[in-house]
């Protein structure tokens, strides 16, 4: 097995967690910090939102490092699905696969069927004109952006940076993430797929 | 040019988000249905190692590359802000299967509909900024 084949396998969760912390270390060492969602505020400010709303009136040039970081994640995503493409689709728990099939969402079994990152039934361009899919994509995205800024951070800023710095506010935020996630997963998603 | 170095953690972040499968909508469903340890393993390992790293940096007064002290800013205490904001974020996270880091990573996968998710997330951020003074914090 050569290096590329070795890296291309799906990574064990412990390796993944350690690499995330290495990314966080590099950001701190370079003088930044680990938090992805603040880039959305920076993008608003670059777009001129500071003219209407004071929240976007800040020195966004000081946040350019974070945009370089998150923009490079696009390159990383490209490399990870081309040069280091996984030989198999994401291996999802059998119970989850069976549940999703009752919603009409199929889990790829072979790499020819898909890589298992996004369900085609929701995210394929050809399925975009379904009302349900537009709700998931547009409302879902809106809630992520609104909620992340309201809570002052997302998974990277609160769940990893905040919890590791023993911040009680971050624990409250993460509890909130789970309340919202459980409501969506157990009540709203099943409802959206039956109407 | 000083910003170019941020490409290293950025590229690595996109790779680890993909190879860890944290970018997978299926993995997020599986996590919130408590049907696999995978996502808990990733986040748990990251929190424990990051806590050790944070403690070491504080104890030994770690410096940045340019020689400044690395500082960790404490967050202001509030319950409604973090709880309500967190719930709204969690609803969106489970719906799209993507938090902000994975959203950008997925653009690199050529998943074009994610651009609409990002555009909506920017709109949501703007809406928060516009409504900020009216919301409980």
Q: How confident is the model at residue A157 (pLDDT cuts 50, 70, 90)?
A: very high
pLDDT of residue A175 exceeding 80, the answer is yes
Q: What is the pLDDT of residue A127?
A: 95
B70 CB neighbours in chain A (<8 A) are 28-29
Nearest to A150 among B98, B109, B135 (CB): B135
Which spans in B1-137 are helix H? 7-19, 25-32, 38-59, 80-96, 100-108, 114-131
Reported as a single tens digit per residue, the pLDDT across A38-94 is: 999 999 999 999 999 999 999 999 999 999 999 999 999 999 999 999 999 999 999
For residue range A135-144, what is the model confidence (pLDDT) as tens digits? 999 999 999 9
ipTM: 0.97
Domain that holds residue A46: 1-85
pLDDT of residue B59: 97
In a domain, A72, yes or no: yes
Per the domain annotation, does A182 fall within a domain?
A: no
Separation CA A111–CA A41 (nearest Å): 37
- Select from A139, A149, A184 the Cβ nearest to the Cβ of B128: A149
Calpha distance A119→A106 (Å, rounded) = 7
What's the pLDDT tens digit per position in B67-98? 999 999 999 999 999 999 999 999 999 999 99
Structure tokens at A11: 């990574």
Would you say residue A69 lies in a domain? yes
For residue A195, what pLDDT is reported?
78
Cβ of A13 within 8 Å of Cβ of B42? The answer is yes
Question: pLDDT category, B21, cuts 50, 70, 90?
Answer: very high
> Which residue in B30, B50, B120 is closest to A93 by CB distance?
B30
B residues 102-131 closer than 8 Å to A (CB): 103-114, 116-130
Q: Is residue A16 part of a domain?
A: yes
B136 close contact with A: CB closer than 8 A: no
- Alpha-carbon distance of B61 to A113, in angstroms, equals 51
Check residue A1 and give its pLDDT. Answer: 79
In a domain, A22, yes or no: yes
Task: Using an 8 Å CB-CB cutoff, list chain B residues near A80.
Answer: 14-15, 17-19, 105, 108
What local confidence, expressed as pLDDT, does residue A177 receive?
98
- For the cut 90, the answer to whether the pLDDT of residue A114 exceeds it is yes
Query: pLDDT-derived band of residue A8, with 50, 70 and 90 as boundaries?
Result: very high
Q: Are A94 and B34 in contact (CB under 8 A)?
A: no
Both tokens assigned to A72 = 């490079």
Q: Looking at CA atoms only, how far is residue B58 from chain A in angstroms?
A: 10
Number of domains, chain A:
1
Angle at B89 between CA B120 and CA B102, to 5 degrees: 65
For chain B, give the mean pLDDT. 97
Residue A159 lies in a domain: no
**Distance to chain B for A112, nearest Cα, Å:** 16
Residue A57 resides in a domain: yes
Quote the pLDDT of residue A36.
96
In a domain, A4, yes or no: yes
The pLDDT of residue A151 is above 90: yes
B85, B98, B133, B136: best to mutate for the A interface, most A CBs within 10 A: B85
Residue B1 has pLDDT above 80, yes or no: no
Rg value, chain B, Cα = 18
> Which residues in chain B touch residue A65, judged by CB atoms under 8 angstroms apart?
3, 6
Quick count: other Cβ atoms within 10 Å of Cβ A95?
A: 13
- Determine, for residues B85 and A148 on separate chains, whether the beta-carbon distance falls below 8 Å: yes
């Amino acid at each position: 097995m050569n290096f590329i084949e070795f890296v291309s396998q799906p990574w064990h969760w412990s390796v993944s967690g350690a690499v995330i912390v290495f990314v966080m270390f590099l950001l701190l060492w370079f003088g930044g910090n680990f938090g992805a969602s603040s880039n959305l505020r920076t993008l608003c400010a670059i777009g001129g939102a500071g003219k209407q709303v004071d929240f976007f009136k800040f020195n966004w040039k000081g946040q350019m490092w974070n945009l370089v970081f998150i923009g490079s994640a696009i390159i990383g995503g490209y490399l990870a699905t081309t040069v280091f493409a996984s030989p198999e689709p994401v291996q999802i728990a059998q119970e989850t696969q069976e549940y999703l099939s009752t919603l009409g969402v199929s889990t790829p079994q072979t790499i020819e069927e898909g890589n298992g990152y996004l369900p085609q039934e929701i995210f394929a361009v050809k399925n975009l004109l379904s009302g349900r899919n537009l709700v998931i994509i547009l409302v879902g995205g809106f809630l992520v952006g609104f909620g992340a800024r309201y809570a002052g951070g997302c998974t990277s800023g609160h769940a990893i940076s905040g919890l590791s710095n023993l911040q009680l506010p971050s624990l409250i935020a993460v509890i909130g993430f789970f309340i919202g996630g459980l409501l969506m997963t157990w009540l709203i998603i099943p409802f959206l797929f039956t109407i | 040019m000083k910003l170019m170095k941020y490409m290293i953690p950025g590229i690595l972040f996109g790779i680890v988000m993909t190879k860890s499968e944290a970018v997978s909508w299926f993995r997020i469903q599986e996590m919130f249905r408590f049907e696999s340890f995978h996502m808990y393993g990733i986040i748990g390992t990251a929190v424990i190692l990051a806590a050790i790293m944070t403690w070491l940096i504080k104890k030994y007064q770690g410096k940045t590359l340019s020689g400044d002290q690395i500082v960790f800013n404490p967050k202001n205490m509030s319950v409604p802000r973090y709880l309500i904001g967190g719930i709204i974020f969690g609803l969106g996270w489970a719906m799209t299967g993507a938090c902000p880091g994975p959203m950008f990573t997925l653009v690199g996968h050529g998943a074009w509909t994610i651009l609409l998710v990002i555009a909506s997330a920017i709109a949501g951020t703007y809406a928060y900024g516009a409504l900020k003074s009216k919301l409980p914090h």
